[in-house]
Structure 1
Amino acid sequence: MHNTGKRYSETAKKVAAGRARKRRQAYEKDQLEKQQLEAQEAQRWEEGARTPNQKKLIMEQKKTEKLRAKKERDQLLAAEEEALGKGGRGKRY
């Protein structure tokens, strides 16, 4: 009589794949939980932190905008002076 049961070599691959899948799912679940805990902790820190003064923020934004505009004007002026040459007046005929 023949034994019609499955061989170990046939089931070992399936068992190993199933275990690997379970480990991967457990790892992903742990990572998700860690991310959620970190987000909650960050939110608690934000609640306890001082909020910046809106007036100061607006003033800083205006200041940086003015500096950017000044830098842009200086670059345009330098490019224009370079185009005119050393004399600054252009060529005389």
Structure 2
Amino acid sequence: MDKRYLPLPVSEQVLLRRQAIEEVLAHPEWTLADAIRHLKKSMRLTSAELARLAGVSHRTVQDIEQGRSEGTVQTMNRLLGIVGLKLGVVRRMSEDP
């Protein structure tokens, strides 16, 4: 956990993760970088901690967060997978009535 925060009991950590997941799912307009940033901040993780949990490099997480890279599908699934999410394909809704 990010050392800028006081340690939380496990029950509160679980609650933060659930809330973070629900917020990401409630905002399909967010970019993947926005979703990753939100998950990281909501769960009080540093980029290095998120990278370690996901099994990717710290630099990869930084590049995605800062928009220098969009990441591969595999990388995004690893990052989202730590909270039980994965990328999916859905039909775009037509903008014309």
Larger RCO, structures 1/2 (Cα 8 Å, 6+ apart): 2
User: Which structure dedicates a bigger proportion of its chain to helix?
Assistant: 1
TM over 0.5: no
TM-score (norm 2): 0.25
TM-score (norm 1): 0.26
In our comparison, the structure showing a higher alpha carbon Rg is: 1
